[in-house]
């Protein structure tokens, strides 16, 4: 197995975070970097942008409204742009009018294979899309930054609270394959829980994403001012680390739309994901003067952002003939709004700074 030689090169044992880094982002074998398109309809799982173009189209409607109220254009940045589905549906919905709303568009994606895919997919539209692996913004330019399932795809440390103290879970390479190991956790991990006011119970397993706060802060600082729309699975620290809800942590693996906890099996061929601690992203915002506009389930966000009006405008509303097109559109919308699924499990964190933040606050807080 390719990962055994990587682990052996690192001394035969690596922290779980290093294992997850290799499994998801190894340049040749990583889940996101090896060249196959792992998610979407034929893949392992759906994200909101890959589930339906109605997600991007609804955000596009909100972007137009922001531009009208703002009286000008601004930059749109999609962090972790994946296969380009989000920007694709936003730009399709805006059509030729994209140039009146957006001063520029940037797709930020870590995987080079996916960057190529995005560039090919979005070439030749009304608005040129800059595709990059690292966003360096212009702090004077108002920006709307969007990130769907970026933070839950970042490698995490795995720890277990024991009577003897906090241990870090490791992955050991052996002739028989991979097995779990444990070693004392570093003080940085102990401090993380102290900072968030969390006490793990004996026997409780939890994840720590050490990059989330700094990465989010870097993005917000790079934008200078604007709005951040962060869509992800997660909880605030007090719930995320509540042993009654998640005694075994939130880390899971996805393969062919099946979820399980076999996270060491077939590395590079299955997704690994851990819930976001929203407080990490709140701390990041507070440190650079951004304020929270809201944290709400995806369904509520889409309704506040005007999905019902978009559906009516497109002719699929209550009065529409029940032909195949209407039924298909309604199925997709139902999936995004599903209170037993995406509509409530995925949450949108909205943060803002400056005039764009004020405008989005007004749009999302109007009566629905």
In the bound state, the residue with its beta carbon closest to ligand SAM is 82
d(C-alpha 85, C-alpha 79), whole Å:
12
Q: Is 105 in the site for ligand SAM (CB under 6 A)?
A: no
Chain residues 172-231 in contact with ligand SAM, contact rule CB under 6 A: none
Give how far the C-alpha of residue 298 lies from the chain's centroid of Cα atoms, to the nearest Å. Answer: 12
Q: Is 284 in the site for ligand SAM (CB under 6 A)?
A: no
Q: Is 32 in the site for ligand SAM (CB under 6 A)?
A: yes
Count residues near ligand SAM (CB under 6 A).
18
Annotate 169-222 with three-state secondary structure.
EEEEEECCEEEEEEEECCHHHHHHHHHCCCCCCCCCEEEECCCHHHHHHHHHHH
Q: Closest approach of Cβ 155 to ligand SAM, in Å?
A: 9
Q: Give the residue from 149, 150, 189, 197 showing the smallest Cα distance to 166.
A: 189
Inter-CA distances, 350 with 106, 115, 228, 259, 314, Å: 19, 26, 6, 28, 26
By CB under 6 A, name the one of 52, 64, 89, 148 that touches ligand SAM: 148
d(C-alpha 309, C-alpha 332), whole Å:
16
Q: Closest approach of Cβ 265 to ligand SAM, in Å?
A: 19
Q: Is 253 in the site for ligand SAM (CB under 6 A)?
A: no
d(C-alpha 85, C-alpha 320), whole Å:
27
Q: Give the residue from 90, 100, 93 showing the smallest Cα distance to 70.
A: 100
By CB under 6 A, name the one of 109, 207, 279, 280 that touches ligand SAM: 109
| Stretch of 63-71, 76-84, 234-242, 254-262 lying at the interface with ligand SAM (CB under 6 A) | 76-84
Q: Rounded to the nearest 10 degrees, how much is the dihedral formed by the CA atoms of 215, 219, 225, 231?
A: -80
Chain residues 285-344 in contact with ligand SAM, contact rule CB under 6 A: none
Residue 294 has which token pair? 């809201």
Residue 270 has which token pair? 């299955």
Q: Is 274 in the site for ligand SAM (CB under 6 A)?
A: no
Q: Is 110 in the site for ligand SAM (CB under 6 A)?
A: yes
Q: Is 153 in the site for ligand SAM (CB under 6 A)?
A: yes
Q: Is 53 in the site for ligand SAM (CB under 6 A)?
A: no
Annotate 301-364 with three-state secondary structure.
HHHHHCHHHHHHHCCCCCCCCCCHHHHHHHHHHHHHHCCCCHHHHCEEEEEEECHHHHHHHHHH
Cβ proximity to ligand SAM, 235 vs 254, nearer residue: 254
Q: Is 50 in the site for ligand SAM (CB under 6 A)?
A: yes
Q: Is 47 in the site for ligand SAM (CB under 6 A)?
A: yes
Q: Is 23 in the site for ligand SAM (CB under 6 A)?
A: no
User: Count of CB atoms within 10 A of residue 112's CB?
Assistant: 12
Q: Closest approach of Cβ 96 to ligand SAM, in Å?
A: 25
Q: Is 168 in the site for ligand SAM (CB under 6 A)?
A: no
By CB under 6 A, name the one of 149, 207, 232, 280 that touches ligand SAM: 149
By CB under 6 A, name the one of 53, 67, 85, 106 that touches ligand SAM: 85
Q: Which residues bind ligand SAM (CB under 6 A)?
A: 32, 47, 49-50, 79-80, 82, 85, 108-111, 114, 148-150, 153-154
């Amino acid at each position: 197995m390719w990962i055994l030689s990587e682990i052996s090169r690192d001394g035969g044992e690596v922290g779980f975070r290093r294992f997850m880094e290799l499994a998801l982002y190894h340049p040749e074998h990583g889940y996101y970097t090896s060249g196959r398109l792992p998610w979407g309809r034929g893949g392992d799982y759906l994200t909101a942008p890959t589930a339906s173009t109605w997600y991007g189209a609804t955000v596009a409607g909100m972007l137009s409204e922001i531009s009208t109220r703002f009286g000008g254009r601004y930059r749109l940045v999609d962090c972790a742009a994946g296969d380009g589905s989000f920007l694709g549906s936003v730009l399709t919905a805006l059509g030729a009018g994209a140039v009146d709303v957006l001063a520029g568009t940037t797709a930020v994606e870590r995987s080079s294979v996916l960057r190529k895919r995005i560039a090919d997919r979005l070439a030749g539209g009304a608005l040129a899309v800059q595709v990059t692996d690292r966003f360096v913004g212009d702090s004077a330019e108002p920006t709307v930054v969007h990130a769907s399932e970026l933070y839950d795809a970042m490698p995490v440390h795995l720890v277990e609270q024991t009577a003897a103290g906090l241990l870090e879970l490791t992955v050991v390479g052996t002739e028989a394959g991979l097995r779990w190991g444990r070693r004392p956790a570093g003080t940085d991990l102990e401090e993380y829980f102290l900072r968030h006011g969390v006490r793990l119970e004996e026997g409780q397993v939890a994840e720590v994403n050490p990059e989330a706060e700094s990465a989010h802060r870097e993005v917000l600082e790079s934008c200078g001012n604007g709005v951040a729309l962060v869509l992800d699975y997660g909880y605030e620290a007090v719930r995320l680390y509540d042993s009654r809800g998640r005694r075994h942590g939130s880390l899971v693996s996805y393969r062919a739309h099946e979820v399980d906890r076999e996270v060491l099996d077939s590395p590079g061929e299955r997704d690994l994901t851990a819930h976001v601690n929203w407080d990490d992203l709140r701390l990041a915002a507070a440190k650079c003067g951004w304020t929270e506009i809201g944290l709400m389930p995806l369904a509520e966000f889409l309704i506040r952002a005007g999905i019902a009006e978009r559906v009516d405008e497109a002719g699929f509303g209550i009065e529409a003939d029940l032909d195949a097109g209407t039924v298909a559109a309604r199925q997709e919308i139902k999936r995004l709004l599903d209170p037993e699924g995406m509509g409530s499990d995925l949450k949108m964190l909205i943060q803002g700074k400056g005039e764009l933040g004020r405008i989005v606050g007004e749009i999302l807080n109007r009566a629905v």
